[in-house]
Amino acid sequence: MTFQVLNEQMQLQQLCTPFSFFFWFLSFALPVNAEMTGHVGYVNSLAVTADGKTVISASWDTTIRLWDLSQHRELHLIDGHNLSVNDVTVSPVGGLLASGSWDHSIRLWRYRDRTEIGQLVGHEDAVYGLDFSPNGHFLVSASWDYTLRLWDLETRTTLHTLRGHQANVMAAQYSPKGTTVLSASYDHTIRKWDVSTGKTLQVFRGHTNSVNDVAHIPNTETAISVSTDHTVRLWDLRTGLEIARLTDHESFVTCLDVSTDGKYALSGDGNGQVILWDIPSESALRQFFAHDGAVWAVAFTPDTETILTGGADNLIREWHLNSGEQLSP
């Protein structure tokens, strides 16, 4: 609120009764934001804390922001990177946050007090994807230097540098057991890696353009990926073969998330559209336009009741899973 607007409101309340002033005050005390606003660049990544209370966003504007999900209000701003922050991920233990940037660095933060506790240095180009291991002791990073790195967070050193992709690596994710990692690359492939050796176990081929994101589907031996070739694909992790090809998107598919129960997937595309998928039936449940311009980030809340989207319009929005309606506090 600007000082001018506040001053006008204060003049108005002088003319009101004490009772009406009480309701005027409540109009400012209660949240009114339909979306989360504050970033001045694309929203590149979204993460939700395990308790479902806080959303963490990363942006082209070089900042990380923490939001109260119940009120859609900004809580804190974290500033430290010199260039676009491409990804943020929250550790399953210890209240840690990791961020990766165009400035080639990975930074570790205690998100509750916004304190930077260290950096992981080694990549020679932009860091685009991050994921903590299930036990929170390790981190995998994906970079435009064509490599992935596995990091020991206690020593903050590289355990393995994973080489094999022939182009930018866009995303990486640990398996639920923490024994393997999946990666997605501009070279049109997905790779499965052994974390103990750093060696490639499988190469998944089929996409005809950049693979922009990949994820495990919990409680299954299936992975899901999205690509600039406009498709979402399901893969058998045992054989490396494609199970299904979903073709409802009409633009390049940018981002992906899977619900914690493994029943649903979300994907966003360059036209601003989001599709909610029913994984068992391999079909689209709902499609809606979420942003003006590309959708760069999607996320389920832990209870899977709502979904979050971030876009090229610099906004974060929350949507009801069942109705597809935008939520406001």
Residue range 36-79, pLDDT digits in tens: 999 999 999 999 999 999 999 999 999 999 999 999 999 999 99
- Looking at 97-106, 231-240, 317-326, which range is the least confident one? 317-326
Mean pLDDT of the chain: 91
Confidence (pLDDT) at 229: 98
Confidence (pLDDT) at 6: 33
324 confidence band (pLDDT: 50, 70, 90) = confident
pLDDT in tens, 152-202: 999 999 999 999 999 999 999 999 999 999 999 999 999 999 999 999 999
* Rounded CA separation 293/289 (Å): 10
Confidence (pLDDT) at 29: 38
pLDDT in tens, 283-298: 999 999 999 999 999 9
Residues 6+ apart with CB under 8 A from 186: 165, 167, 168, 169, 170, 210, 211
Confidence (pLDDT) at 24: 33
Where are the chain's structural domains? Answer: 1-30, 40-324
Q: Identify the residue with better confidence: 210 or 28.
A: 210
pLDDT at 11 > cutoff 70: no
Residues 243-271: what's their mean pLDDT?
A: 98
Confidence (pLDDT) at 27: 35
322 confidence band (pLDDT: 50, 70, 90) = confident
Q: Which CATH class is domain 40-324?
A: mainly beta
Q: Which two tokens stand for residue 16?
A: 């009101």
Confidence (pLDDT) at 84: 98
pLDDT in tens, 199-246: 999 999 999 999 999 999 999 999 999 999 999 999 999 999 999 999
Confidence (pLDDT) at 144: 98
- Predicted TM-score (pTM) of the model is 0.89
94 confidence band (pLDDT: 50, 70, 90) = confident
Confidence (pLDDT) at 10: 35
